[in-house]
Structure 1
């Protein structure tokens, strides 16, 4: 592991009434200690998980539009509102890595085409691959050096089978001890990775929970076991 701790510099904050400090978990956030090579952030949209992930990317000097330190392009509303207010503790510090924003991956692929470096991503333009293929091409070709990798909803382009393929890639990378991942996700498949730590953002404080405690697991399991009942209630039939 490289990144050990994330701290909110509360003394810099003049008010907790405006975004992003108005987010419930941010009002109570002081520090988060990371203890495994794979950390998952879970929670409803708006709970603050992507906001914190983006702030970490900002402090790593990654492009907060998506990419690494050397990817220079812009996407509207991609600036981090929290980056100036957190402190990262490293041992040792690493500079290599990547920030994946699923929502701006198209712009990242266009950037790679524009600078002519798609050879580093499997030899084909990411635009000439399916969305899922392009994501896996990124994972297999770019995530191959010692570094920290920040992924915001990587399951957005991955079928269930490709999510399992990603878990195999992730495990190979972390087994060498050279990679650390922080992943914001809604996927019960990705959350099932056995060697990760899960932090929930759904309460007023960030809380470590077990896989079986996640709403993603519980709701998916209950739906699969009681599909007809769920559908009758939802559809009013």
Structure 2
């Protein structure tokens, strides 16, 4: 584990009515401690988990449009709005790693084609494969040991079986790499002994896998889908 903690610089925060300072997570949050090599940020859309992950990427020197320290491409609205308002504590600090933004991955793949960098990704254009295949190609060829890897909703392009493949990649690297992952996937967050931080709580808190809404709702649906759908549609 390399990144030990993240501290919000509250003395620098701006108007609490303006984004990102209006995010509820900032109101009661000071320091987040990372306790293992695999951490998941979970919570509803708009809870701030992706915003905080972008801030970490910014402080790591990664391209917040997606990529590592040497990927200079731009995507509109990819600036880390909270990046200047957090401080990271390392032991030791690493500079290797990658920030995956699922929503801007197409632009990243185009950037790799433009700089003729496909050799680092298996020798094929990421655009020449399906979305899920290109994600796995990235994970398999770009992720190495002794780095920090920040993944924002990687399940967006992955089938359930390929989410399991990602878990295996994480397992193979986790002895010498650190992963922080914002996700809605109950498959991914089931990684053994992972730290799970719930952004739907104020302040944000660690939560057990079985206590997450993602696990409980998915379990109830799979146990009796007809009952859940009847309840969902009964007002129609």
Residue 188 of structure 1 aligns to a residue whose secondary structure is coil
CA distance in 2, matches of 1:35, 1:224: 32
Instruction: Indicate if the aligned counterparts of 2:140 and 2:169 stay in contact, CA closer than 8 A.
Output: yes
Residue 187 of structure 2 aligns to a residue whose secondary structure is helix
Shift of 1:145: 3.4
Match of 1:85 in 2: 85
Shift of 1:195: 2.5
CA distance in 1, matches of 2:185, 2:104: 19
Q: 1:211 aligns with which of 198, 201, 209?
A: 209
Match of 1:182 in 2: 180
**Post-superposition CA distance 1:129-151 (Å, at most 9, x none):** 11111001000100013100000
Shift of 1:235: 2.9
Instruction: Indicate if the aligned counterparts of 1:65 and 1:101 stay in contact, CA closer than 8 A.
Output: yes
Structure 2 unmatched ranges of 5 or more: none
TM-score (norm 2): 0.98
Structure 1 stretches of at least 4 aligned residues deviating more than 3 Å after TM superposition: none
Matches within 5 A, 1:53-202: 53-174=53-174, 177-202=175-200
**Post-superposition CA distance 1:45-78 (Å, at most 9, x none):** 0000000000000000100000000000100000
Shift of 1:16: 1.9
TM-score (norm 1): 0.97
Instruction: Indicate if the aligned counterparts of 1:8 and 1:85 stay in contact, CA closer than 8 A.
Output: yes
Match of 2:226 in 1: 228
Instruction: Indicate if the aligned counterparts of 1:24 and 1:203 stay in contact, CA closer than 8 A.
Output: no
Instruction: Indicate if the aligned counterparts of 1:5 and 1:31 stay in contact, CA closer than 8 A.
Output: yes
Match of 1:36 in 2: 36
**Post-superposition CA distance 1:191-233 (Å, at most 9, x none):** 1001210000002211100000000000000001121111112
CA distance in 1, matches of 2:32, 2:222: 34
Shift of 1:83: 0.5
CA distance in 1, matches of 2:129, 2:221: 33
Residue 54 of structure 2 aligns to a residue whose secondary structure is helix
Structure 1 unmatched ranges of 5 or more: none
Shift of 1:12: 1.0
Instruction: Indicate if the aligned counterparts of 2:65 and 2:75 stay in contact, CA closer than 8 A.
Output: yes
Shift of 1:36: 0.2
Shift of 1:123: 1.0
